[in-house]
Amino acid sequence: MLVEIFPNYEALSNRAYEIVATELRRKPNCVLGFATGSTPLGLYQRLVEGYQRGELDFAKVVTFNLDEYVGLPPSHPQSYHYFMWENLFKHININPSNVHIPNGMVDDIEFHCEWYEEQIRRAGGIDLQILGIGPNGHLAFNEPGSSLGSRTRIKTLSRATIQANARFFGSLEAVPRYAITMGIGTIMEARKLLLLASGKAKARAVRAMLEGPISAMVPATIVQLHRFAHVLLDAEAASELEYSHHDGISEPFDVH
């Protein structure tokens, strides 16, 4: 696992752009896994700018998103479908038929989850999966206690996640209680993982993820087992790490 620590969020986002852009140039028809939330926004803004400058071409790219709230239509401002189109997809030359986001409005969620897994297989698997980490260590919506071998499915959101997301909905009551999420087993099948973490609020989870034992109670710890996991942190997110205290915050270091 390669971990890089940067002085601030801007530098982190710049590095994330370099990594994704390199993947796109290496394989123009690559399969990208996307995450939502505030952390990858800097990356997405840079991808849009890279496309506008003529540096990137998304015409052959296939995408899969990690998750979606159950009960929110794609047009809802807090749906992840809306988030991705507003912040990335509508600004680049991606083929809408190549975009895959779980549908939180389907009647048969179990069938939909099986279909989603099949679409990933048909696409040849995910080349690069972008990830964030929750303050409680969740990965996508795989909350503490999730099976480390889980597949795409419906999950009940934890109280901590509902509280963390309430700021987007205006109140605790408005936050959906369920989500469709890629499972940990699904995520781990991606050829490469790129996990981004920013801010002091993520510091404890980052420390558990990188320095703690692998545990279903901290789902993100599973990245320790991935054959190629690349973790980008800003200084605040890395502030509780023990291993990095003797390293400069701008230099990459390996954790095995």
Task: Indicate which residues carry an active-site annotation.
Answer: 67, 136, 138, 143
DSSP string, 12-29: HHHHHHHHHHHHHHH-TT
The 8-class DSSP code of residue 114 comes to H
Nearest to 65 by CA among 24, 36, 94, 105: 36
DSSP string, 161-224: HHHHHHHHHSSSTTS-SEEEE--HHHHHTSSEEEEEE-SGGGHHHHHHHHHSPPBTTBGGGGGG
- Tokens 């052959």 belong to 60
Residue 162 burial by Cβ neighbours in a 10 Å radius (0-12, 13-18, 19+): middle
Which value, in Å, is the radius of gyration of the alpha carbons in the chain?
A: 17
As a whole number of angstroms, the distance between CA 88 and CA 23 comes to 17
Q: What are phi and psi of 120, to 5 degrees?
A: -65, -45
